[in-house]
Amino acid sequence: MREWIRFGEQVNQLVYTLAGAKFMGDIETANRFVAEHIHYSESSVRMMRQGRFRPQNDQSLATMVQLGKQKAGLEYQWGRTLLISGQHPDPEKILQKVYNNAPESLPSTSIKTAVSPSTFFTSRSTAAFAGTLLLLGMWTFGISPGYPPPHEPSLFMEIIWGITVGLGLAAGLAGIDTYRSRKFSEDLWRYLLLPVGGLFGAGCWRFGNAQLLSANNGAMIESNPIESFAFGLCYATGLTIVIAGLISYERKNLPGRFHWLTFTGMILFGGLSALAGFLLPYIHPAFSNQRDIDLVVGLALRLGLAIIAGIGFPPLSLPEFHESGKVKWIPWHT
């Protein structure tokens, strides 16, 4: 799925409408006309139409809207969608200038297309967490009766645990994204990358940290805060590597510096969620035994990974969000 696919659809509509209105259906001439006005090459405009990138100059977006209104007769909603999907910093100013407050003459239902980012990501994270709980039932009754498993399970069981958590995340996110898009997508395979993230996390933990951070007290092996933090850090790292890799693949280039900061925050969040799970049982001494600690750490980490996947993993269909500062922290673009 290309990053700027919705923006590309609007540019494509501009070129095809111009071709019909001014150039006797000649698509290449219309493409050249747009390229000359926004000061890009013809091949660049073709790539925009394919959803590969947006102009770096915001003025080019404004010029496209002017061309659409004045030369092609395209309506306000088209201009609004182009500016928002192209991430213009002030779309309302451009729309007011070009369309002279045209939305007042439009039915209100035609412009209420944006969704709340808070509601969108809360529902995705909730669905992902519910998926992990569903798979937890399968683990408890089919794989490892008497959850949680021993404090330090075998490598095989650790790998199965990590893959199972990833499958739960995948099931939850794929389910709610398919429900929202109202159609079956051939891109559902992408969600199978989440179990790969769980596998990476299991390997990172077992081969990188388990032996170093587990405090061996004779026959008993007990958790400690650093171990719990590192446990969550490893699994969040595995999941974030998969998310970053998918986003890089779809963009055909590496994410920017700001998004690497976001990825780092996702990893730290995973570590902190596991640490919170370690500390919670100590609120009541009756729940501070090793079994309860392992249980709460597992649940807290599942919730942390669900939030990471809900926010970071690109959905099947890219939504259009209400103006919000929260959106800038999404590693994939809307």
Give the residue extent of every domain in the chain: 5-110, 117-329
Note the pLDDT tens digit of each residue in 54-109. 888 889 999 999 999 988 889 898 999 999 888 888 888 899 889 885 554 444 33
CA 214 to chain centre: 33
Please give the pLDDT value at position 220.
45
How many CB atoms neighbour CB 207 within 10 A? 11
User: Which DSSP state fits 139?
Assistant: I
User: Mean of the pLDDT values across residues 21-41?
Assistant: 90
Residue 114 pLDDT grade (very low, low, confident, very high; cuts 50, 70, 90):
low
pLDDT tier at 180, thresholds 50, 70, 90:
confident
**pLDDT at res. 62:** 92
Helix (H, G, I), strand (E, B) or coil at 220: strand
CA distances to 18, 76, 148, 170, 179 from 98, rounded to whole Å, are 17, 9, 62, 44, 37
Query: pTM for the full model?
Result: 0.65
Average pLDDT for residues 261-289, to the nearest whole number?
A: 86
Amino acid at 196: V
How many Cα atoms are found within 13 Å in the side-chain-facing hemisphere of 302?
27
Residue 262 · residue 329 · CB < 8 Å: yes
Give the SS3 label for residue 224: coil
Q: What pLDDT sits at residue 151?
A: 64
DSSP string covering 244-280 = HHHHHHHHTS---HHHHHHHHHHHHHHHHHHHHHHHG
Sequential DSSP letters for 40-109: --HHHHHHHHTTS---SSHHHHHHHHHHHHHTS---HHHHHHHHHHTT-S-HHHHHHHHHSSGGGGS-GG
DSSP 115: B
Mean pLDDT of the chain: 82
Average pLDDT over residues 302-330: 82
Please give the pLDDT value at position 112.
43
Tokens representing residue 230 in the block = 């590192």
Smallest Cα–Cα separation from 162: which of 203, 212, 127, 125? 203
The predicted pLDDT at position 45 comes to 93
CB 320 within 8 A of CB 81: yes
Q: 254 pLDDT exceeds 90?
A: no
pLDDT tens by residue, 203-229: 888 887 766 665 444 334 567 888 889
Q: 146 falls in which pLDDT band (50, 70, 90)?
A: low
Q: Long-range contacts made by residues 74-78, C-beta under 8 angstroms, separation at least 24?
A: 74/13, 74/14, 74/17, 75/102, 75/106, 76/102, 76/103, 76/106, 76/111, 77/106, 77/110, 77/111, 78/10, 78/13, 78/14
Q: Which of the two residues, 137 and 45, has the higher pLDDT score?
A: 45
Asked if residue 182 lies in contact with residue 217, where contact means CB atoms within 8 angstroms, the answer is no
